[in-house]
Chains A and B, each alone.
Chain A
Amino acid sequence: MTKTAPEAPPRHSDDPKRKLSPAAQRFANASSTSLGPILIKIILIAIVDATAVFALFTAIGREAWAIATVIAAITVLINVVYFKKGWLPAKYLLPGTIFLLIFQVFVIGYTGYIAFTNYGSGHNSDKADAISSLLQSNQERVEGSPGYPVKLYNGDDGLAMLIERDGQQLIGDENTALSALEPASLDGYTELNFADLLGRQQEVTSLKVAVSDNPADGTLRTSDGRTAYQYTSSLKYDEAADTMTDQDTGLVYKDTGVGAFTAEDGSQLMPGWSINVGFDNFTRAFTDSSIRGALFSVSIWTFAFAFLSVASTFFLGLFLAIVFNDMRMKGRKIYRVISILPYAFPAFLGGLVWAGMLNKDFGFVNQVLFGGANIPWLTDPWLAKFSVLWVNLWLGFPYMFLVCTGALQSIPQELSEAATIDGAKPFQIFRLIKLPLLLVSVAPLLISSFAFNFNNFNVIYMLTEGGPRLEDAGLNVGATDILISMVYKVAFVGSQRDYGLASAFSIIIFVIVAIISIISFKQTKALEELN
């Protein structure tokens, strides 16, 4: 390939019509002029810039200043790097680095920020959003208010409501408040007929159209699609005092700095908003006994799981590598291919399939192998731990088998021959010569395997979902949960989602992982010096 490169261009410039092979033709075209690549470059950057400008306007339109700033910065950077002469390394590094910075470096930092907030169920948004959603959610029909004749239309953004008030026609939908109807604005809308009304009753009754931009004015709703009534909140927001008053009970809720309007008796109005809570999440993790116990036992199990997984897969893999590393044995290839199968099988499916096989009541293991016994493989804390390790051994030993085979075969034969001549027995050769050499080449892989298993979410979650649940824990955490699955469950499983606490756990894991890495890097260096 490379040798033909210089020859192609001259031939092309001598006689452009001479027939060349398609590959040579392409090559010749590309090399005859440097206009092509520059054109491609300009077109690509033009596309990026056009997209960026569009995105910038969208972001500014939605008043998302942070996003707009980032987009502008990235776009300027791209243009500078690719149009400036020189800066060659930057041209090659920039695309990947942008993704790396946003979706790996930034999100880690952002995790740190969230760990100091009470972000989570009921604290999802800022205060203004919380106020307007409180005013919208606790609504009751205004007593004695008149009904307005209503027509419902189907538009691009869902249902729209057309009402007549004081002889004026007004239109609005879920996202836009009522406004005077302009003659042309009904284009693209179709009126709902009676059958549609029946078919979409759910949608119709849940439609709320704001009366004005002020949430305190309430909304219009209709239950039958013919008449709409005004609904206002039973809560009243007093902007000056920053309090919510429940007009039915007279209870006053204040912003006491906990991220929700709180009454004197401690009751809170939900949703609240997210606030900075300082080290609250970390203090909770380490002092609240129900969380601390769970965090402690999960951490211990994470280490035990990762260590035992590495140890079990490594020893089985090493044993098999030694067993099958005999030139006289026939059919080694078949054994090897079959034993690799679990490794090729997607890990998440492995977990799900074993979950079925180990099922207490109907699973294959209990029904067939143990003759109908009811062994709680996945529901007893200790058996579940054993099962998780067992399944992870099934998934992971082929990797160690392959690695150890490779390492054993790369050890020069002369070493063991020399040792035999010196009178060493086979086991001595293995223990004193082969094993140390093997460990040197395999140690980094054992460490990376440990790191992998430390966060081996799929096996745990697919097999047991972390269960059985720890009874004394204040969180939804189980006996086989490892740290990463605990983070996932605290943040995304169940109705009570606590992003702040989950992020705090993430930060704790980051610290643990960093410490292990520092130690293990030093350790590997020490091992390399041995060699």
Chain B
Amino acid sequence: MSTDTSTTHTTPSFTPIPRPARRTFGKWFATTGWRHLIGVALCIYSAFPLLYVLSASLNPNGTLLSSNGFFSTVGLQSYVDLFQNEQRPFAAWFANTLFIGLTTAAASVFLGALAAYSFSRMRFTGRRVGLVSLLVVQIFPQLLAVVAIFILLTSLGDVFPALGIDNQIALIMVYLGGALGVNTYLMYGFFNTIPVEIDEAAKIDGAGHARIFFTMILRLVAPILAVVGLLSFISSTSDFVLASVVLVSPENQTLAVGLYSYVSEEFTSNWSVFAAGAVLAALPVMALFLYLQKYIVGGLTAGAGK
């Protein structure tokens, strides 16, 4: 805004005659120019911290203090160190996060689609109650029951070690408990947009309910499956509360828990290595996000938050 007034003040004293030129700049500035100023400020605000991490990660053996020199030194040593630290197995964290995220995403898409199909295509007693109770259950996030989940898994683990504390299958099952509430509603709306006539035509041709569902409906609703899968992948990979409570030993942990321990235990000295880890952890998610941007934005406006 201040630039606006300064240009209008200085230009007249310079050139009294070429008024049109001044007016076009003024006009340009008044219509779109100031928008670019805001745009540049916006870009700095949003992109700067990301550039900062990138520069810190390329600063070999950097501490928090020495990372302040922006791209002053460039080297990949931190990335090498990241993978050689045995107490903090980054590669294992990465693999665990992918495993947990992908399994949770696939399974919750499947469970959600099954439920949405029955709510959308079938009429049965208890349907309305079911839909309303899904809405009500959503109000209470699983996060709040973390203590009960911890104690439940502890006692389950006494009987079945595979379902106890420090086991990834147990964590995935916990995530799946939250899957139905969140996803079914998103999917239910989309399922309703697919004409019922398609089902009916297939039924007349002799297709059973399972075939209609697996071979036709699932393909027609692919976009919402992608959105729900991605949202559930992102939410399960960025979860810290449940993952930190369930996964105890370093080789079982996820990126969120592991990278937090990096920072909380040796905050300033290991900064560059942490930054390298952060860059590698963020890149796939960001790439996926930007690639699928259009789908996600549509899904987000349908009711998800960050």
Inside 8 A of A394's CB, which chain B residues have their CB?
45-46, 49
Which residues on the A side are within 8 Å of B264 (C-beta)? 465
Contact A338 B43 (CB under 8 A): yes
Q: How far is the CA of A465 from the CA of B146 in the complex (A)?
A: 17
**Chain B neighbourhood of A492, CB < 8 A:** 146, 150, 244-245
User: 8 Å CB contacts to B: which residues of A428-471?
Assistant: 444-445, 448-449, 451-453, 455, 457-458, 461-462, 465
Residues of chain B within 8 A (CB-CB) of A347 are 238, 306
Whether A445 lies near B118 (C-beta < 8 A) is no
Report how far A267 CA is from B278 CA in the complex, Å: 49
Judge whether B297 is part of the interface by a CB distance below 8 angstroms. Answer: yes
Mark interface residues in A352-377 (1 if CB within 8 Å of B CB, else 0).
Answer: 11111101011110011000000000
B contact face: mostly helix, strand, loop, or mixed: helix
Tell yes or no: B128 within 8 A of A by CB: no
Interface flags for A88-100 (1: CB within 8 Å of B; 0: not) read: 1100110111011
CA distance A55 to B64 in the complex (A): 51
CB pair A352 B260 closer than 8 Å:
yes
Taken together as a complex, chains A and B put the C-alpha atoms of A487 and B205 apart, in Å, by 57
Q: Is there an interface contact between B46 and A67, defined as CB atoms closer than 8 Å?
A: no
Q: In this assembly, does B17 line the interface, its C-beta being within 8 Å of a C-beta of chain A? A: no
Chain A, interface SS category: helix
Interface residue A350 (Cβ < 8 Å from any Cβ of B): yes
In the complex, identify which listed stretch (B5-13, B18-26, B81-89, B179-187) lies at the interface while the others stay far away: B179-187
* Inter-subunit contact A93/B146 (CB<8 Å): no
Q: Interface readout for B256-267 with A: 1 if CB under 8 Å, 0 if not?
A: 100110011001
Q: Is the CB of B177 within 8 A of A100?
A: yes
Residue of B nearest to A34 (CB): B208
Determine if B278 and A95 form an interchain contact, defined as CB atoms under 8 angstroms apart: no
0/1 string, A468-500, CB within 8 A of B gives 1: 000000000000000010011001100000010
- Which A residues between 321 and 358 are near B, CB-CB below 8 angstroms? 323-324, 326, 328-331, 335, 337-350, 352-357
Q: A364 and B36: CB pair below 8 A? A: no
Say yes or no: B177 contacts A449, CB within 8 Å.
no
Closest-CB distance, B78 to chain A (whole angstroms): 14
A398 near B238 with CB under 8 A, answer: no
Contact pattern, B 204-217, Cβ under 8 Å of A = 1, otherwise 0:
01011111010110
- Indicate if the CB atoms of B148 and A339 lie closer than 8 Å: no
Does residue B79 face the partner (Cβ distance < 8 Å to A)? no
A sample of 5 inter-chain contacts (CB < 8 A) reads A62-B159, A108-B144, A113-B148, A362-B68, A462-B240
B-side interface residues toward A, CB under 8 Å? 31-32, 35-36, 38-39, 42-43, 45-47, 49-50, 52-53, 56, 63-65, 67-68, 111-112, 114-115, 117-118, 122, 124, 127, 130, 137, 139-152, 155-156, 158-160, 173-174, 176-181, 184, 198, 201-202, 205, 207-211, 213, 215-216, 219, 234, 237-238, 240-241, 244-245, 256, 259-260, 263-264, 267-268, 271, 274-275, 278, 281-282, 285-286, 289-290, 293, 297, 300-301, 303-306
